[in-house]
Amino acid sequence: MPLPRRAALVLAAPWAGWAVVRSTGADRGFPLVPAAAFTRYAAATSVLPLAVGVLARSRSATGLAAGAAAVLGGAVLSGARRTPGGPTDGPPLRLVSLNMLHGRADPAAVVALVEATDADVLALSEVTPEAVTGLLAAGVADRLAHAHVVPAGDGQPAGAGGALWTRLEVLERSVVPGRFGQPSARLAAPGGRDLEVTAVHTHPPTGSGRQVARWEEDLGLLPDPAGPLLRVLAGDFNATPDHGAFRRLLRRGWVDAARVTGQALRPTWSPVRVPVPRLTLDHVLVDPRIGVVSLAVVHVPGTDHRALVADLRLPRAGTGG
């Protein structure tokens, strides 16, 4: 017995609505913003209403479902399309970025990753005082002598802190405003231009309209890649490429290292105890004058986030732009 055509049309409607929201960037407020993080899952399951429309012999349901599948699939793939980066013949800068999950990431594993990658900069979020103690005991200061640690503010959980460690000379320390500690440091790169690195951690837009508003405000407070000073933003943006707010951030001039290297669909977060969902919440965004050679996604014990290891190239000292 054929499926009712009206039921097939009703089933296709949610995927069609999702496609409209994704294609127009209308994911604003709650619950659209948290839902947008799962767009790749909506795209993967869009064959379901299409199959039902075919079985119901409903041209309208089949057409609606096919259109939604095409839009959702195209949107996800377009977010992963490679984009050009800056020149890659300048001095190298290797950066490791990680959310420590309220300080639970294994500090010895973090320092081992720094050593294995010969990192110049380590950018951390959700850093607790105990995590700082553990990292120092594991020898982070032996590899990266200069630190900028921003503890959690009054009334915040201990994991609201952030930290930068670097082997480069620190010319200036500052904090980017936001819900959580976001340390920023101006660094002197041998042979290259000075640059500013910020350990990003925006408010998660998960449970309410107020949280979504805080997340949007945090994204809006991030600096632009403009002027003579080079900038890098690295960390947990709590945003996927399917979030309209993240795409608007990129349109301010940022280059996503994952897109340059074809890694934009690689998930960087999943729950500790279950394998799904898997989302791309962590990013390394660079000034367009900075080249991106590679970006690796690395598991670190103790945290639900993956570390990002970015191999960058800076403009040479004295160059214009």
Return the closest-CA partner of residue 218 out of 36, 76, 75, 33: 33
CB neighbours of 44 closer than 8 A, spacing ≥ 6? none
Beta strands 282-286 and 230-236: pairing type?
Answer: antiparallel
What average pLDDT does the segment 6-27 reach?
A: 95
| Residue 15, pLDDT score | 97
| Residue 201, pLDDT score | 98
**pLDDT tens-digit readout, 245-296:** 999 999 999 999 999 999 999 999 999 888 899 999 999 999 999 999 999 9
Percent of the chain with pLDDT over 90: 91
- 26 token code pair: 């209308």
d(CA 240, CA 76): 10
Q: Tokens 């949280």 belong to which residue?
A: 211
Does residue 3 surpass a pLDDT of 70? no
Does residue 319 surpass a pLDDT of 80? no
d(CA 312, CA 232): 10
**pLDDT tens-digit readout, 89-105:** 999 999 999 999 999 99
Q: Nearest 5°: phi and psi at 36?
A: -60, -25
Topology (CATH) of 92-313 = Deoxyribonuclease I; Chain A (3.60.10)
| Residue 317, pLDDT score | 83
Does residue 130 surpass a pLDDT of 50? yes
| Residue 192, pLDDT score | 87
3-state SS record for the chain: CCCCHHHHHHHHHHHHHHHHHHHHCCCCCCCHHHHHCCHHHHHHCCHHHHHHHHHCCCHHHHHHHHHHHHHHHHHHHHHHCCCCCCCCCCCEEEEEEEECCCCCCCHHHHHHHHHHHCCCEEEEEEECHHHHHHHHHCCHHHHCCEEEEECCCCCCCHHHEEEEEECCEEEEEEECCCCCCCEEEEEECCCECCEEEEEEECCCCCCCHHHHHHHHHHHHHCCCCCCCCEEEEEEECCCCCCCHHHHHHHCCCCEEHHHHCCCCCCCCECCCCCCCCCECCEEEEECCCCEEEEEEEECCCCCCECEEEEEEECCECCCCC
For residue 204, CA distances in Å to 8, 147, 153, 210 come to 35, 26, 17, 11
**pLDDT tens-digit readout, 144-180:** 999 999 999 888 988 999 999 999 999 999 999 999 9
d(CA 309, CA 120): 11
Partners of 305 in the β-ladder = 269
Amino acid at residue number 296 = A
202, 219 contact by CB (below 8 A): yes
Range in 1-15, 111-125, 175-189, 203-217 with the lowest mean pLDDT: 1-15
- 258 token code pair: 């994952």
CB neighbours of 320 closer than 8 A, spacing ≥ 6? none
Cis peptide before 31 (omega within 30 of 0): yes
- Model confidence at 1, pLDDT cuts 50, 70, 90, reads very low
Which residues in the chain are classed under CATH 3.60.10.10? 92-313
The per-residue pLDDT of the chain, averaged, comes to: 95
